């Protein structure tokens, strides 16, 4: 788990070891104190540890007098959507694309957005105070002051209805789509929505058992999906992750279409219809240089943020922009969503293919010519030490001088795992590999390996 509990996307760690029931209970109490709302909504993905941590977190909220509405298994963007519609803060118990043994807790405001950094810092401070002294004031409520915990069987229906309505009455009739649900939170919702919109659907990895979420499937491993698209002669495939806030696509030839290409497709489509606000798309520092060059060629501006859809959303709202996303497939259509939504992105892509009358392979061909990009994850016990390690940054400066203007180096501590991520882009893949390996060695030597 990242130092200071909160990372790029909430709190995340090995369930029942780093992210314990005791920590979840304390976090619930801290959240209720910092966000003094009468009611909260809480959902989860399909991990074995989900019910345990959801119960503990909800108990923490109720301990402080807040009522809790248990949404059950629902995608992260579904929880965000219910929070916004019900005007209640919320939480999602999920570790997104991580292995099933991990879990996490993401917090949402009553606007359905991730908490601002400053508010999250307030929750962190209150959490540390509670962990240090669980019985310190204020006194816990008793009697009628204790919060209740109830369920909401209509939550999934609300979210599904929003997804279906996103196409403004258009349908996906005539499209054959394979969807890989990653044995996660979208295992029921995604196939239902695609079918309701008229597509012929084949669902893969839609039988979660608590331990098979993201296991050789979903957006982190779309190889099975690629084979299935060819086998079923489908128009396209969609690979979600465990909590369905991201998606990777596959065209009819089995070729993977990543988030950079999807974002470019959406930017051009919105621009052609006069719907790309500010003629600008928001990306993160991890977005490939090839994407920037492609947008420049089309006269579309690119704004860059730190990694994380929270930062993308903040940039969108700051300038009234409409589209942003990450290479991983987190894409935000601001007019329709408050967070990355893999299902929404998938049906929007299918709608684009339908309206164009052209296959995805044709639409994406040559659109983004990626500069070779190498990403090396270096296991480091305390990745936050990277910031002050001059030995590493001296090596980075030398590497940047070697690459010149046709390359790029990015080092950052992971916000969700004990890793330092080393990313290198260069015109030649061999050069990118060599520089990345050299920098990874420097990081490991300077900061120590897990």
Active-site amino acid positions: 96
Please provide the distance, in angstroms rounded to a whole number, between the alpha carbons at the two ends of the chain. Answer: 13
Do residues 212 and 154 lie in contact, with contact meaning Cβ atoms separated by under 8 Å?
Answer: no
Number of H helices, E strands in the chain: 14, 19
Tokens standing for residue 25:
């209970």
Using the CB atoms, write b or e for 252-268: b if 16+ within 10 Å: bebebbbbbbbbbbbbb
Using the CB atoms, write b or e for 139-175: b if 16+ within 10 Å: eeeeeeeebebeebeebbebbbebbbebbeeeebeeb
Between the alpha carbon of residue 318 and those of residues 8, 116, 221, 303, 311, the distances in Å are: 20, 13, 34, 12, 10
Which residue in 411, 332, 335 sits closest to 377, CA to CA?
411
Size (the chain), residues: 450
Share in percent of the chain as helix, strand, coil (round to 5): 40, 20, 35
List the Cα angle 282/285/290 in 5-degree steps: 80
Q: At 11, which helix (H) or strand (E)?
A: strand 10-14
Region label for 228, one of left (φ > 0), alpha (ψ between -120 and 50) or beta (otherwise):
alpha
Alpha helices in 36-182 (DSSP H): 50-63, 76-86, 117-132, 155-165
The sign one gets for the Cα dihedral 268, 271, 276, 278 is: positive
Distance CA 55, CA 57 (A): 6
Residue with tokens 């709608």: 351
- Cβ contacts of residue 393 below 8 Å, gap of 6+? none
Question: Kind of pairing, strands 90-93 and 301-305?
Answer: unpaired
Region label for 143, one of left (φ > 0), alpha (ψ between -120 and 50) or beta (otherwise):
left
Residue with tokens 């003629």: 279
């Amino acid at each position: 788990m990242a130092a200071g509990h909160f990372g790029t996307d909430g709190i995340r760690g090995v369930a029942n070891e780093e992210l314990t029931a005791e920590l979840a209970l304390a976090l619930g109490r801290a959240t209720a104190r910092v966000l003094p709302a009468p009611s909260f909504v809480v959902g989860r993905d399909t991990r074995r540890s989900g019910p345990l941590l959801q119960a503990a977190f909800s108990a923490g909220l109720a301990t402080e007098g807040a009522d809790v509405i248990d949404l059950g298994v629902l995608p992260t963007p579904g929880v965000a959507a219910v929070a916004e519609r019900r005007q209640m803060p919320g939480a999602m118990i999920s570790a997104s694309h991580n292995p099933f043994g991990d879990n996490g807790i993401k917090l949402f405001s009553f606007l359905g957005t991730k908490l601002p950094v400053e508010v999250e810092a307030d929750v962190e401070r209150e959490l540390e105070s509670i962990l240090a002294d669980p019985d310190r004031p204020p006194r816990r409520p008793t009697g009628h002051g204790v919060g209740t915990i109830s369920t909401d069987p209509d939550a999934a229906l609300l979210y599904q209805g929003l997804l279906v309505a996103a196409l403004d009455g258009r349908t996906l009739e005539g499209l054959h789509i394979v969807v890989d649900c990653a044995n996660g939170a979208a295992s029921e919702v995604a196939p239902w929505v695609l079918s309701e919109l008229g597509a012929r659907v084949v669902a893969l990895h839609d039988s979660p058992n608590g331990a098979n979420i993201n296991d050789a499937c979903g957006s982190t491993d779309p190889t099975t999906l690629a084979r299935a698209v060819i086998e079923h002669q489908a128009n396209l495939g969609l690979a979600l992750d465990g909590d369905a806030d991201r998606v990777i696509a596959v065209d009819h030839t089995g070729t993977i279409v990543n988030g950079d290409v999807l974002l470019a497709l959406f930017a051009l489509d919105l621009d052609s219809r006069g719907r790309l606000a500010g003629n600008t798309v928001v990306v993160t520092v991890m977005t490939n240089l090839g994407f920037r060059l492609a947008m420049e060629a089309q006269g579309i501006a690119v704004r860059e943020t730190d990694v994380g859809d929270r930062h993308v959303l903040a940039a969108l709202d700051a300038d009234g922009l409409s589209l942003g996303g990450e290479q991983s497939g987190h894409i935000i259509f601001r007019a329709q969503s408050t967070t990355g939504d893999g299902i929404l992105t998938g049906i929007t892509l299918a709608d684009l293919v339908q309206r164009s009358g052209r296959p995805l392979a044709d639409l994406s061909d040559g659109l983004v010519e990626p500069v070779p990009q190498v990403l090396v994850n270096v296991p480091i016990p305390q990745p936050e030490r990277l910031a002050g390690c001059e030995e590493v940054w001296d090596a980075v400066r030398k590497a940047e001088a070697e690459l010149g203007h046709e390359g790029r180096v990015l080092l950052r501590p992971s916000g969700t795992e004990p890793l330092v991520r080393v990313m290198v882009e260069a015109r030649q893949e061999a050069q990118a590999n060599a520089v990345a390996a050299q920098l990874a060695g420097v990081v490991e030597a300077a900061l120590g390996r897990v």
